[in-house]
Amino acid sequence: MGNLKLALFLAFKSIIKGNRWALILIILVMSLSFVNLLLTPSILSGVTNTLNQQQIDTLYGNIIVDPPPTEHYLGHVSLIERKIEQIPGITGVSSHLNSEAFMEYQWKEKDSPSDKGESGTWSVIGIDPSREVNVTTIHEHIIQGSYLDGNDRDEIVLGVEIAGGDKAQTADFLTLQGVKVGDEVRLTYPNGVQREYQVKGIFQAKEMTQADRLAFVTKKEIASVLGRQVYGDRASQILIRTGQGVTANQIIQEISSLGINAEVRSWSEYGGAVGGIVSSFDVIASLIGTIGLVVAGIVMFIVIYINVINKRRQIGILRAIGIKRDVIIGSYLTQAIFYAILGIVFGGLIFGYVIQPYFEFHPLDLPLGQVSLVVGALTISSAVLGLLIAAVLAGFIPVISIIRQRIIQAIWGN
C-alpha cells in the first residue's frame, strides 16, 4: 500500500512541478493522436454509412420480399401488400415488376439494323409511383424533368448513367449519349415487344453501382408489356421501408408469420459489393490507426525518455535511499497513463465539440454522396485502449532502461 502511495505521490509531484511546456506538448500530442484515432475510422464509417443508406434509399428499402426459389413472380401482390402494411413499424411497401430491355436513342438515324447507334441493355422496373415514394428516394433525385405519375403509360424515367451526358460518370459510349427530357427512346423487351417512350425525368441518386443504371416505368405499363392481365397483380419483388425503433429481424419475423409463400431478406443480404468495400475500409482504418498509435507512442517515448534522462540522478538517489524499482517504474507509468487520460479527455472534447459538429453541418461532398462522421462505441473503445497501451509502453521502456543501470552510474554517471 505504501509503495503504491509513494508511486502516486512521486508521479503527482513530477506532473505538478515538472516542466510545464513538456506537459503541454505531451498532452497536445496525446490529444491529437486520439483525435486521429477517432477521425480516420469515423470518416470511413461515414462513407460506409452513406453507401449503406444509398442502397436502402435507392435500391432495396430495408427489407425485400422475393418469390420463392421455384417461382419468378410473387402472386396476389395487392393482398400481400395490404397484409404487410398492417405490421406496426412499416412506413412503406412497394412492389416492383422487373424486366430487361434493349434501349435505343435516335434509332431513326441509324444507317442499318446492324448499326449499334446509341443503345444498350438495362433493367426496367415497373412501379406504382404513389407507393414507391414511401420506400425509395429516387423521386428526390430528379435532376431533369419530373417523376412518374400513376397513370403514365408512354413515359419513362432514366438513371443518369443510362441517359449519359455531362453529369454521367460512365464513359459516354456505354450510355445513350445525352438523352434529354422530352426525347424519345425505344425499348425492346425480351419477349419481342417494342415500345417507344418519352423521357419524363432523369435522376441521379449517386448510388455507386446500380441505382443510376435503372429505368422506371409504371407497373401498369410493364404488366401490359408482359402481355397478360394477370401480371397486374404480380411482382418480381416487394420492397419494404421500416421506421425508427424496429429492427429488420423483428419485421422479417412478423412477415414470415403471415404465411406468405416468399423469401424475406434484410437489405444487407443484398449489399455484398458494398460489404467488400466496407471490409476494405476497416483494414485501411486499422492500418492508419496503427500508424497513428505508433507515432503517438514514439513521441510520448521521446518526451518521457528525455524527462527520464534528465532525472537520471534523481532516480539514482531514490534507489540509493531504498525506494524500490517497482515504485519508480510505477510513478513513471502513472505519469504516462495520466498523460494518456488527459489526451483522451481533451482529444474527445475536440472531437465531440468541434470536429463532429463541423462535419455535421459541413459534410464532405464526395462523388459517392455526402459523408459525415460516424463514430461507434467500438471505435472509441479501441482508440482509448490503444492510446493507453501506447502510453504504458512509451512510459515503461525509457524508465526500465535507466533503472537497469547501477545506482552509482545513475547518480554520478560513471
- Residue 154 is classified by DSSP as S
By CB under 8 A, name the one of 226, 300, 318, 384 that touches another protein.
318
Indicate the residue among 9 and 353 with the shorter CB distance to another protein: 9
By CB under 8 A, name the one of 53, 324, 352, 401 that touches another protein.
324
Assess 404 for contact with another protein (CB under 8 A).
no
Distance in angstroms (rounded) separating the CA atoms of residues 66 and 68: 6
Distance in angstroms (rounded) separating the CA atoms of residues 207 and 186: 25
Distance in angstroms (rounded) separating the CA atoms of residues 8 and 335: 9
By CB under 8 A, name the one of 210, 322, 361, 399 that touches another protein.
322
Residue 25 backbone phi and psi in degrees, to 5: -60, -50
By CB under 8 A, name the one of 284, 298, 320, 389 that touches another protein.
320
Indicate the residue among 11 and 37 with the shorter CB distance to another protein: 11
Indicate the residue among 10 and 340 with the shorter CB distance to another protein: 10
Smallest gap, in angstroms, from Cβ of residue 16 to another protein?
A: 7
Output the CA torsion sign for 358, 361, 364, 368: positive
Q: Which residue(s) pair with 369 in the sheet?
A: 366
Total interface residues for another protein by CB under 8 A: 28
Smallest gap, in angstroms, from Cβ of residue 406 to another protein?
A: 7
Assess 24 for contact with another protein (CB under 8 A).
no
Residue 83 backbone phi and psi in degrees, to 5: -60, -45
Tally of CB atoms within 10 A around 253: 11
Assess 173 for contact with another protein (CB under 8 A).
no
CA distance between the termini of the chain: 34
Assess 82 for contact with another protein (CB under 8 A).
no
Assess 400 for contact with another protein (CB under 8 A).
no
**Dihedral (C-alpha) 383, 389, 391, 397: value to the nearest 10 degrees?**
-150
Of residues 298-317, which lie at the interface with another protein (CB under 8 A)? 313-314, 317
Assess 13 for contact with another protein (CB under 8 A).
yes
Smallest gap, in angstroms, from Cβ of residue 348 to another protein?
A: 29
Q: Which stretch binds another protein (CB under 8 A): 29-37, 38-46, 269-277, 401-409?
A: 401-409
User: What is the DSSP track for 250-293?
Assistant: HHHHHHHTTT-SSEEEEGGGT-HHHHHHHHHHHHHHHHHHHHHH
Indicate the residue among 167 and 406 with the shorter CB distance to another protein: 406
* Per-position b or e across 44-59, b if 16+ CB within 10 A of its CB: bbbbbbbbbebbbbbb
Q: Which stretch binds another protein (CB under 8 A): 110-118, 320-328, 359-367, 381-389?
A: 320-328
Indicate the residue among 7 and 215 with the shorter CB distance to another protein: 7
Distance in angstroms (rounded) separating the CA atoms of residues 32 and 383: 12
Assess 350 for contact with another protein (CB under 8 A).
no
User: In the complex, which residues of this chain contact another protein (CB under 8 A)?
Assistant: 1-3, 5-6, 9-10, 13-14, 16-18, 313-314, 317-325, 327, 406-408, 411
